[in-house]
Amino acid sequence: MSQAIHTIQLAGTDQSFSCAENDTLLRAALRSGIAFPYECNVGSCGNCKFELLEGVMASCWPEAPGLSDKDRARNRGLGCQSRPTGPLQIKLRTSDKYAPQFPPVRTAAKFISSRVITHDLSEFSFQTELPLPFLCGQYALIQMAGIEGPRAYSMSNVGMFNGETQAGNLIEFQVRRVPDGKGSAHLFDHLKPGDHVEIDGPYGMAYLRENIERDVLCIAGGSGLAPMVSIARGAFLSPQMTQRKLHFFYGARALQDVCGLAMLETLPHWSERGTYQAVVSGASETDNLPSDFMRGFAHDAVAQTFGERLQQMEIYFAGPALMGQSLLKTLIDLKVPMDQVHFDQFY
């Protein structure tokens, strides 16, 4: 059934965009090339807040944690959760850094297959009906039948490169099974090859910067493997990056969680340009870890390994919020310029 489409006017500017009733303000704005600030796209971070000045809207998730009671009382909404029910006028401060390189596309996608990576992490491959160009490190939203709200997952394969699609319409995610998680359980337990989902993307600002003449450091923790693998794959494919080294740190809780190296070792010239370091935080002194593994947390391991040399690196990271906060603090303490640090927090 076709949906009513409404005009959304940005107050105090000559900018407006169209938004269907079954779309959200944030995603429709990005589809029109409007630089609407955001991060998680799933109602948690609060970066997509705006103020409603005129008109009536609805919320996909009224209890979303990204909006406080004070915000609600002030007529504020979350761009990623708000749907128009008529024309709107909103107050929003756009920021050029959010302008999409590829406008997000909403498309049906067929589940092809899954592959086990560790005891709780698997790779899921989909074929999208429409082309969905993306940059290494970006994420997409998967809407699954019977699950309230979409889930954000980062692509692990390489999308657009040198102006060409590398993957055809193939899109791959690496997902961790979350205890009692509805979306991840659906992927692991219910989805059968041939089943369809809706995929909407790409989103995210933590994409590979190919034209920067610095060595690359990727730090992945737990479920943050996919975007870092995608960045590494892109960095080894890019003709602009052949002189760049890439260091990959994987932070795991236990030995059984360690992964990633097998995917990296297959990259051309990995042994000359790449290094991999596993860091295990939950191992006891008596646990037998391979001698080249480090013990402790990823943020301490990178500080210990590189110290102030981090100031000369382009740094990407992905994983649990706690890891992200510790890493950011470490990088700030070591005076790493923040424009060299790229991440989208996982919620």
Ligand X SMILES: Cc1cc2nc3c(=O)[nH]c(=O)nc-3n(C[C@H](O)[C@H](O)[C@H](O)COP(=O)(O)OP(=O)(O)OC[C@H]3O[C@@H](n4cnc5c(N)ncnc54)[C@H](O)[C@@H]3O)c2cc1C
Instruction: Retrieve residue 251's tokens.
Output: 């932070």
CA–CA separation, 233 and 235 (whole Å): 6
Complex with ligand X: residue 19 or 42, whichever CB lies closer: 42
Binding residues for ligand X restricted to 40-79, rule: CB under 6 A = 40, 42-44, 61
Minimum distance of ligand X from residue 138's CB (angstroms): 9
One residue of 27, 30, 34, 47 binding ligand FES per CB under 6 A: 47
Complex with ligand FES: residue 80 or 313, whichever CB lies closer: 80
Positive/negative CA dihedral, 219, 127, 202, 178: negative
Q: Is 201 in the site for ligand FES (CB under 6 A)?
A: no
**By CB under 6 A, which span of 43-51, 52-60, 159-167, 213-221 interacts with ligand FES?**
43-51
Complex with ligand X: residue 140 or 310, whichever CB lies closer: 140
Q: Is 100 in the site for ligand FES (CB under 6 A)?
A: no
CA–CA separation, 176 and 164 (whole Å): 30
CA–CA separation, 4 and 20 (whole Å): 6
Instruction: Retrieve residue 235's tokens.
Output: 């960095």
**Residues binding ligand FES: number (CB under 6 A):** 14
Q: Is 141 in the site for ligand FES (CB under 6 A)?
A: no
Minimum distance of ligand FES from residue 163's CB (angstroms): 29
Site string for ligand FES, 60-79 (x = CB under 6 A): ------x-----------xx
For 253-319, give the DSSP string.
SSGGG---HHHHHTSTTHHHHEEEEEEESS--TTS---TTPEES-HHHHHHHHHGGGGGGEEEEEES
**φ, ψ dihedrals at 226, nearest 5°:** -55, -55
Find which of ligand FES, ligand X, none residue 257 binds, CB within 5 to 8 Å per kind: none
